[in-house]
Amino acid sequence: MYIAPNSTIRLLSGVPIDKNQSDTLWFASGGDQASYFASKAKRSFNLQTYQRLQRGYCRLEVSADQIYDCNYMMFQNTSYGNKWFYAFINNVEYINDDTAEVRFTIDPIQTWFFDYTLNQVFVERITPSADSIGDNILPEPLTMGEY
């Protein structure tokens, strides 16, 4: 069965998220999320073939030089729904003067942001039995990230 190319791909520049997942962006709704990322779009491509999540690359009709500064992408397979998928761009490879291959890794946090629920957690702290000066000067094994 023939499926007409109907996917939308947007290549984004300046998105402040990196692959190590130490920081992410928080959105109140899927519309806010899509609007924010769309505002970072450098190039947009319509009527593209179906984008597979696990394949991890797509070929686009654009010169590689025009998209080297893109660090993130979003795509939507509109023939099958209206869900946006978000991904980190790993690299851009020159194929020919009019074609570039974009290799990507799905960002699971942003892609499934509104499909899961974060429950409350309880962190139990205890008071040590000895509390003399210097007894309890050990860093906790909890990385807080940058303040």
What pLDDT score was predicted for residue 123?
Answer: 81
DSSP, res 95: E
Q: How far apart are CA 7 and CA 46, in angstroms?
A: 6
Q: How far apart are CA 34 and CA 118, in angstroms?
A: 21
Tens digits of per-residue pLDDT, 90-125?
Answer: 999 999 999 999 999 999 999 999 988 878 888 887
- pTM of the predicted protein model: 0.78
What pLDDT score was predicted for residue 146?
Answer: 75
Tens digits of per-residue pLDDT, 39-84?
Answer: 999 999 999 888 888 889 999 999 999 999 999 999 999 888 899 9
What pLDDT score was predicted for residue 127?
Answer: 75
Tens digits of per-residue pLDDT, 56-67?
Answer: 999 999 999 999
